[in-house]
Chains A and B, each alone.
Chain A
Amino acid sequence: NAGVTQTPKFRVLKTGQSMTLLCAQDMNHEYMYWYRQDPGMGLRLIHYSVGEGTTAKGEVPDGYNVSRLKKQNFLLGLESAAPSQTSVYFCASSFPLAQPYNEQFFGPGTRLTVL
Protein backbone atom coordinates (compact mmCIF):
# COMPACT_ATOMS: atom_id res chain seq x y z
CA ASN A 1 0.00 0.00 0.00
CA ALA A 2 2.00 2.95 -1.31
CA GLY A 3 -0.52 5.67 -0.38
CA VAL A 4 -0.05 8.76 -2.55
CA THR A 5 2.91 8.85 -4.92
CA GLN A 6 4.15 11.66 -7.13
CA THR A 7 6.47 11.70 -10.10
CA PRO A 8 8.88 13.25 -10.69
CA LYS A 9 10.38 14.27 -7.34
CA PHE A 10 12.47 17.07 -8.82
CA ARG A 11 12.45 18.92 -12.12
CA VAL A 12 14.13 21.95 -13.64
CA LEU A 13 12.43 23.61 -16.59
CA LYS A 14 13.24 26.54 -18.80
CA THR A 15 10.67 29.28 -19.27
CA GLY A 16 8.13 28.24 -21.87
CA GLN A 17 8.65 24.50 -21.55
CA SER A 18 5.79 22.20 -20.68
CA MET A 19 5.55 19.28 -18.32
CA THR A 20 3.09 16.98 -16.57
CA LEU A 21 3.18 15.99 -12.92
CA LEU A 22 1.64 12.63 -12.12
CA CYS A 23 -0.13 11.76 -8.88
CA ALA A 24 -1.31 8.25 -8.09
CA GLN A 25 -3.17 6.88 -5.07
CA ASP A 26 -4.07 3.33 -4.14
CA MET A 27 -6.55 4.08 -1.34
CA ASN A 28 -9.65 4.19 -3.57
CA HIS A 29 -10.20 7.83 -2.65
CA GLU A 30 -12.82 9.78 -4.55
CA TYR A 31 -11.28 13.21 -4.07
CA MET A 32 -7.87 14.34 -5.28
CA TYR A 33 -6.16 17.72 -5.03
CA TRP A 34 -3.14 19.63 -6.29
CA TYR A 35 -1.54 22.24 -4.06
CA ARG A 36 1.48 24.44 -4.33
CA GLN A 37 3.54 25.55 -1.37
CA ASP A 38 5.69 28.65 -1.47
CA PRO A 39 7.78 30.19 1.32
CA GLY A 40 5.62 32.46 3.46
CA MET A 41 2.47 31.57 1.55
CA GLY A 42 1.31 28.26 2.95
CA LEU A 43 -0.43 25.61 0.90
CA ARG A 44 -2.71 26.88 -1.85
CA LEU A 45 -5.17 24.78 -3.81
CA ILE A 46 -4.62 24.77 -7.56
CA HIS A 47 -7.24 22.32 -8.84
CA TYR A 48 -9.19 19.46 -7.40
CA SER A 49 -11.34 16.55 -8.52
CA VAL A 50 -14.31 14.96 -6.81
CA GLY A 51 -14.36 11.92 -9.05
CA GLU A 52 -13.16 10.31 -12.24
CA GLY A 53 -13.72 12.60 -15.20
CA THR A 54 -14.40 15.70 -13.10
CA THR A 55 -12.14 18.61 -12.23
CA ALA A 56 -12.60 22.05 -10.71
CA LYS A 57 -10.58 25.18 -10.08
CA GLY A 58 -9.12 26.00 -6.73
CA GLU A 59 -7.61 29.20 -5.41
CA VAL A 60 -4.71 29.58 -7.90
CA PRO A 61 -5.61 27.73 -11.15
CA ASP A 62 -4.09 30.06 -13.75
CA GLY A 63 -1.32 28.52 -15.82
CA TYR A 64 -2.26 24.95 -14.92
CA ASN A 65 -4.51 22.27 -16.35
CA VAL A 66 -5.55 18.95 -14.85
CA SER A 67 -7.10 15.69 -15.88
CA ARG A 68 -8.61 12.78 -13.97
CA LEU A 69 -9.10 10.03 -16.53
CA LYS A 70 -8.76 7.25 -13.97
CA LYS A 71 -9.89 7.31 -10.36
CA GLN A 72 -6.42 6.58 -9.05
CA ASN A 73 -4.55 9.20 -11.11
CA PHE A 74 -4.61 12.99 -11.16
CA LEU A 75 -2.37 14.83 -13.62
CA LEU A 76 -1.22 18.43 -13.36
CA GLY A 77 0.02 20.09 -16.53
CA LEU A 78 2.01 23.23 -17.09
CA GLU A 79 1.65 24.23 -20.73
CA SER A 80 4.17 27.07 -20.74
CA ALA A 81 6.17 27.23 -17.55
CA ALA A 82 6.99 30.59 -15.96
CA PRO A 83 9.45 31.43 -13.15
CA SER A 84 6.45 32.27 -10.93
CA GLN A 85 5.57 28.57 -11.03
CA THR A 86 8.74 27.64 -9.19
CA SER A 87 7.35 25.90 -6.14
CA VAL A 88 6.83 22.64 -4.31
CA TYR A 89 3.76 20.83 -5.61
CA PHE A 90 1.82 18.46 -3.40
CA CYS A 91 -0.89 16.07 -4.44
CA ALA A 92 -3.41 14.84 -1.89
CA SER A 93 -6.39 12.53 -1.80
CA SER A 94 -9.28 11.84 0.52
CA PHE A 95 -12.66 10.28 0.87
CA PRO A 96 -15.45 12.82 0.39
CA LEU A 97 -14.62 15.80 2.54
CA ALA A 98 -18.29 16.39 3.26
CA GLN A 99 -17.92 13.65 5.86
CA PRO A 100 -16.53 15.43 8.89
CA TYR A 101 -12.94 14.92 9.84
CA ASN A 102 -11.90 13.03 6.72
CA GLU A 103 -8.16 13.26 6.43
CA GLN A 104 -6.32 14.38 3.32
CA PHE A 105 -3.30 12.19 2.58
CA PHE A 106 -0.41 13.93 0.88
CA GLY A 107 2.21 12.72 -1.55
CA PRO A 108 5.92 13.48 -0.97
CA GLY A 109 5.92 16.50 -3.25
CA THR A 110 7.56 17.60 -6.50
CA ARG A 111 10.15 20.36 -6.35
CA LEU A 112 9.93 22.36 -9.57
CA THR A 113 12.31 25.12 -10.59
CA VAL A 114 11.60 27.23 -13.66
CA LEU A 115 14.58 29.19 -14.94
Chain B
Amino acid sequence: RKEVEQDPGPFNVPEGATVAFNCTYSNSASQSFFWYRQDCRKEPKLLMSVYSSGNEDGRFTAQLNRASQYISLLIRDSKLSDSATYLCVVNAAGAGSYQLTFGKGTKLSVIP
Protein backbone atom coordinates (compact mmCIF):
# COMPACT_ATOMS: atom_id res chain seq x y z
CA ARG B 1 0.00 0.00 0.00
CA LYS B 2 1.34 3.42 -0.94
CA GLU B 3 2.10 5.74 1.95
CA VAL B 4 -0.19 8.55 0.84
CA GLU B 5 -2.74 7.85 -1.84
CA GLN B 6 -4.97 10.27 -3.71
CA ASP B 7 -7.27 10.06 -6.70
CA PRO B 8 -5.29 11.90 -9.41
CA GLY B 9 -8.45 13.21 -11.09
CA PRO B 10 -8.90 15.39 -12.97
CA PHE B 11 -12.01 16.68 -11.31
CA ASN B 12 -13.80 19.01 -13.73
CA VAL B 13 -16.50 20.96 -11.94
CA PRO B 14 -18.60 24.02 -12.80
CA GLU B 15 -18.22 27.27 -10.91
CA GLY B 16 -20.23 27.25 -7.72
CA ALA B 17 -20.11 23.49 -7.31
CA THR B 18 -19.00 21.65 -4.19
CA VAL B 19 -16.16 19.18 -4.61
CA ALA B 20 -14.53 16.77 -2.19
CA PHE B 21 -11.17 15.07 -2.27
CA ASN B 22 -10.11 12.13 -0.16
CA CYS B 23 -6.68 10.90 0.77
CA THR B 24 -5.61 7.74 2.57
CA TYR B 25 -2.38 7.20 4.46
CA SER B 26 -0.73 3.98 5.52
CA ASN B 27 1.29 4.88 8.62
CA SER B 28 -0.93 4.84 11.68
CA ALA B 29 1.80 6.68 13.63
CA SER B 30 1.30 9.81 11.51
CA GLN B 31 0.65 12.86 13.60
CA SER B 32 0.44 15.89 11.32
CA PHE B 33 -1.68 16.32 8.24
CA PHE B 34 -1.88 19.05 5.64
CA TRP B 35 -3.37 20.05 2.35
CA TYR B 36 -1.07 21.93 0.00
CA ARG B 37 -2.05 23.60 -3.23
CA GLN B 38 0.18 23.64 -6.30
CA ASP B 39 -0.55 25.77 -9.33
CA CYS B 40 0.78 24.72 -12.71
CA ARG B 41 4.58 25.11 -12.86
CA LYS B 42 4.67 26.71 -9.41
CA GLU B 43 5.79 25.64 -5.98
CA PRO B 44 3.46 23.96 -3.45
CA LYS B 45 1.91 26.26 -0.87
CA LEU B 46 0.15 25.36 2.34
CA LEU B 47 -3.62 25.51 1.99
CA MET B 48 -4.48 24.34 5.47
CA SER B 49 -3.43 22.07 8.27
CA VAL B 50 -5.84 19.32 9.25
CA TYR B 51 -6.74 19.11 12.91
CA SER B 52 -8.14 16.09 14.69
CA SER B 53 -11.45 17.83 15.29
CA GLY B 54 -11.70 19.03 11.71
CA ASN B 55 -11.31 22.63 10.68
CA GLU B 56 -12.74 25.17 8.31
CA ASP B 57 -11.23 28.14 6.53
CA GLY B 58 -13.76 30.04 4.52
CA ARG B 59 -14.98 27.79 1.71
CA PHE B 60 -12.55 25.02 2.64
CA THR B 61 -13.18 22.29 5.20
CA ALA B 62 -10.71 19.59 6.18
CA GLN B 63 -11.54 16.43 8.10
CA LEU B 64 -9.39 13.72 9.61
CA ASN B 65 -10.52 10.16 10.34
CA ARG B 66 -7.75 8.44 12.26
CA ALA B 67 -9.59 5.15 12.61
CA SER B 68 -9.90 4.78 8.84
CA GLN B 69 -6.67 6.67 8.12
CA TYR B 70 -8.08 9.14 5.68
CA ILE B 71 -8.21 12.88 5.24
CA SER B 72 -10.70 14.86 3.25
CA LEU B 73 -10.90 18.32 1.75
CA LEU B 74 -14.21 19.91 0.85
CA ILE B 75 -14.39 23.01 -1.34
CA ARG B 76 -17.70 24.83 -1.45
CA ASP B 77 -18.81 27.39 -4.04
CA SER B 78 -15.86 26.60 -6.33
CA LYS B 79 -14.15 29.53 -8.03
CA LEU B 80 -12.13 29.55 -11.23
CA SER B 81 -9.12 30.47 -9.09
CA ASP B 82 -9.46 27.16 -7.22
CA SER B 83 -8.15 25.34 -10.31
CA ALA B 84 -4.93 23.70 -9.16
CA THR B 85 -3.48 20.43 -7.95
CA TYR B 86 -4.19 19.63 -4.30
CA LEU B 87 -1.55 17.67 -2.44
CA CYS B 88 -2.30 15.58 0.61
CA VAL B 89 0.68 15.65 2.96
CA VAL B 90 1.36 13.53 6.01
CA ASN B 91 4.08 13.61 8.64
CA ALA B 92 4.87 10.03 9.61
CA ALA B 93 6.31 10.55 13.07
CA GLY B 94 7.39 6.96 13.30
CA ALA B 95 9.64 7.40 10.28
CA GLY B 96 11.41 10.44 11.68
CA SER B 97 9.52 13.58 12.40
CA TYR B 98 11.45 15.67 9.92
CA GLN B 99 9.98 14.08 6.87
CA LEU B 100 6.75 14.84 5.14
CA THR B 101 5.25 12.37 2.68
CA PHE B 102 3.43 13.94 -0.24
CA GLY B 103 0.62 12.40 -2.22
CA LYS B 104 0.81 12.68 -5.97
CA GLY B 105 -1.97 15.21 -5.99
CA THR B 106 -5.52 15.60 -7.23
CA LYS B 107 -6.04 17.95 -10.14
CA LEU B 108 -9.05 20.25 -10.02
CA SER B 109 -10.34 22.27 -12.95
CA VAL B 110 -13.19 24.68 -12.29
CA ILE B 111 -15.07 25.44 -15.47
CA PRO B 112 -16.97 28.68 -16.19
Contact = CB atoms under 8 A, between A and B. Distances in A.
Contacts of A90: 43-44
**Interface SS of chain A: helix, strand, loop or mixed?**
loop
A97 B98 contact: yes
- Size class of the contact patch on chain B: 20 to 34
B104 A40 contact: yes
Interface in A96-110: 97-98, 100-101, 103-104, 106-109
A86 to B, nearest CB: 15
B97 interface: yes
Contact of A106 (B32, B44, B104): B44
A66 B93 CA distance: 24
- Size class of the contact patch on chain A: 20 to 34
Contacts of A31: 98
Contacts of A98: 97-98
Among A31, A42, A90, A101, find the residue whose CB has the most chain B CB atoms closer than 10 A.
Answer: A42
B87 interface: yes
A43 B36 CA distance: 12
Given A50-B98, A100-B31, A108 B91 contact: no
Contacts of A35: 102
Nearest to A31: B98
A22 to B, nearest CB: 16
A50 B46 CA distance: 20
9 contacts: A48-B98, A97-B99, A101-B32, A101-B49, A101-B51, A103-B34, A103-B49, A104-B46, A109-B42
